[in-house]
Structure 1
Amino acid sequence: MPRGAAVSSAAPDRPITVEVCCGGVADALAAEEGGAGRVELNAALPLGGLTPTVAAVEAVRRMTGLQVVAMARPRAGGFCYGDADWSQLLAEVDALLAAGAHGVAFGCLTPEGAVDVARVREVVGRAHAAGAEAVFHRAFDLVPDADGATAILAGVGVDRLLTGGQAPTAPEGAGLIAHLQAAWGGRVQVLPGSGVRPGNAAALVAETGVGQVHSSCSGFVTAPGAAAVAHGVDFSVPGCGPERLPCVDPGTVRELVAVLR
C-alpha cells in the first residue's frame, strides 16, 4: 500500500476469526459470551502469559464450545531455555494436549535470538501427532530476521504465527504484518496481536489482509471480598489497584466481533 494511502475502517468482506487472550476459565466464558471463536488460554497474564493448569484447559473445553489454544511457557522472561526449563515445557505441551487443547502456543530462541529450529520441530511434531495446531507466539517479535524466521517456521510446519509486527503494538507493526501475510500467508497463518481493539481492528485487517486477530479485550472487575492490600502487604495485580482485577470484557469482545463481521 502506498505511503499515505487511506485505509478503510469498514467491516471486511470475509469472515474474520477473533481470538481472545484469556487468563483463566472466567475469561474464556466471557470471551464466548461476547462471540469469540477461539481463545488463547494462559496463566499469569501480568507476566506476559504462562502455562495454564490442566484443570483450566479441561474446564474451558467442558464449559464452552471454543477452540482452545493453550500457552506453553514455563517461566517469565525471554525465550532461550535451559535444559530444565525445556524439559518442563515439553511436559507441559504433552499435558495440555492430553487435556484437550486444540493447539499450543510456544516460542523458543537460540542464545543469539534466532528461531531454535530443532526445538520448534519437536513441539510441532508433538502437536501434530495429537491432531492439534502449533502456534509460534510473539517470541517472533524478537528475532533479527523476520523473513528468515518465517521461512523456518513455515518449513517445519508451524500452523500459525502470532506477531505484533516486531513493534509494541500490531497497528504500529502493520507494515511488516502486511508483508508477512502477502509473502507467507499461503504457508503459515498470520495472526496480529497486541494493542488490537474495536477502534482499530477493521483498519488493521484492511491494511494487512489477515483473516484473524488476537486481542485481550480487557477490562476490570471489582475483586470479591477484602482488598489485596493490608498492613503494608500488597498482593494486588500491578496497575489494577487493591480492589480491582483484570478480566476479559464480554462487551468489548462483542464490539470487536461486530466491527469485523
Structure 2
Amino acid sequence: MNYQIEVCIDNLESLYLAIAGGATRIELCSSLTLGGLTPSFGMMQQAAKQSSVPIYAMIRPRQGDFLYDDDDIAMMASDIQAAATANLQGVVLGLLTADGEIDVVRAKPLIDLAHQLGLGVTFHRAIDQSRDALKSLEQVIELGCERVLTSGLAADVVSGIETLKQMQSLAAGRITIMAGAGLNAQNVAQIVTQCAIREVHLSGKTSRPSLMNKAANQAHMGSKNVNDFVVPITSSAAIQSVVDALQALK
C-alpha cells in the first residue's frame, strides 16, 4: 500500500494493537488525553525492542501551549538524545512564539540535534495554532523537517480540507503533509483523494475494563471524572478499517 498510517499511542499494549491493525509508523507519547506528552525513556526503549515499524517519540515537555522557556528547551534536547539512545527512528516536536509564529530560533537547534543523531523530525500540530498556515509551512520546510502533522488549522481534517489542499500544493514535494485530527474510516478517502495526501495520522481510541478483581472507587489517582479502572487503548479494528478504506482506493 502506498499510504503511510501513523498511529499515536500512550501505552505498550496499544503498540501491539496498532501494529496488528496495520499501522506503518507509531507516534509514541504519554498522556494522549492531554494531546500527547513525552514518553519515558523506559517506554522508548521497550517500544523500540518490540516494534516492527518505525517509532517517532513525541517531544513535548508539558501540557498547554507551545511557547517554551529555556528549561523546557533543555528538557526537549535531553529527550531527543534519549530517543536516539533508545534506537527510535525520529521525534515529533513543535514550537511557537508568543505571537503565534513558528519559533524558528528555538526550534532550529533542536531539529539540528535530531538530525545529528540520525533522527527524522515531524513538526506536529502546533502549526494548527499558528497565525498563517502557508507562512508557517515555509518556515517548517526551511527548518528541515521531513513532514508536518496538521488538520489544516481547523478542529478536524474535514473542516480544514481547503487549507490542507493549499498546504499540499505549497509543499510541492519539499515536505510531506500528514493529515490528522478526527481522521477515521469514514473520511479518510475524502481527505487523501481531495488533498492528494499520502500520510494520515489517528489514534483509533477505545478502552477496556481493568483486570483488577477489586475496584477501589473511593480513591481516585487524579480527576474524579476519570475512571481509574478503565484503560484507554488503541482499537485494532479502527486502524484496520482505515487501512481497508485506503486499500479500496486502488
Query: Displacement, 1:229?
Result: 2.6
Counterparts in 2 of 1:163-182, with a 5 A limit? Answer: 163-182=150-169
Give the superposition deviation at 1:255: 1.2
Alignment partner of 1:15 is 2:2: yes
Mapped pair 1:229 → 2:217: yes
Secondary structure in 2 aligned to 1:28?
Answer: helix
The structural deviation recorded for 1:62 is 0.9
Deviation at 1:77, TM superposition (A): 0.4
Q: What are the within-5 Å matches in structure 2 for residues 79-94 of structure 1?
A: 79-94=66-81
SS in 2 for 1:172: coil
Q: 1:250 aligns with which of 230, 236, 244?
A: 236
Identity %: 29
Q: Secondary structure in 1 aligned to 2:88? A: coil
Deviation at 1:241, TM superposition (A): 3.8
Whole-Å separation in 2 of the counterparts to 1:126 and 1:175: 34
Alpha-carbon deviation of 1:65? 0.8
Alpha carbons 2:67, 2:97 under 8 Å: kept: yes
Query: TM-score w.r.t. structure 2 length?
Result: 0.93
Q: 8 Å contact 1:46–1:237 — kept in the other structure?
A: no
Change (3 A) 1:236 1:198: farther
Uncovered stretches (5+) of structure 2, i.e. residues with no partner: none
User: Any runs of at least 4 consecutive aligned residues in structure 1 with deviations exceeding 4 A, and if so which?
Assistant: 236-240
SS at match of 1:162: strand
State which of 44, 64, 68 in structure 1 corresponds to 2:51. 64
Equivalent position of 2:196 in the other structure: 209
Whole-Å separation in 2 of the counterparts to 1:26 and 1:60:
10
- Give the match for residue 120 of structure 2: 133
Counterpart residue number, 1:191: 178
CA RMSD of aligned residues (A): 1.6
Specify which structure has the bigger relative contact order, considering alpha-carbon pairs within 8 angstroms and separated by 6 or more residues. Answer: 1
Q: CA deviation at 1:113?
A: 1.5
Alignment-derived partner of residue 124 in structure 1: 111
Query: Tell me, what secondary structure is at the counterpart of 1:15?
Result: coil
Contact 1:16 1:211 in 2 (8 A): yes
Aligned to 1:48: 35
Q: 1:240 Cα deviation (Å)? A: 5.8
**How far has the Cα of 1:187 moved from its partner?**
0.9
Amino acid corresponding to residue 132 of structure 1 in structure 2: L
The one-letter amino acid paired with 1:229 is N
- Deviation string 1:62-92 (CA, Å, 9 cap, x unpaired) is 1121110100011000000111111111111
Q: Which residue of 2 aligns with 1:3?
A: none
- CA shift, 1:120, in A, is 1.7
Q: 125, 136, 144: which one pairs with 2:131?
A: 144
Give secondary structure in 1 for the equivalent of 2:6: strand
Number of residue-to-residue matches in the alignment: 246
Q: Deviations over 1:179-234 (max 9, x none)?
A: 1111114111101111011111111111111001000111111122133631xx32
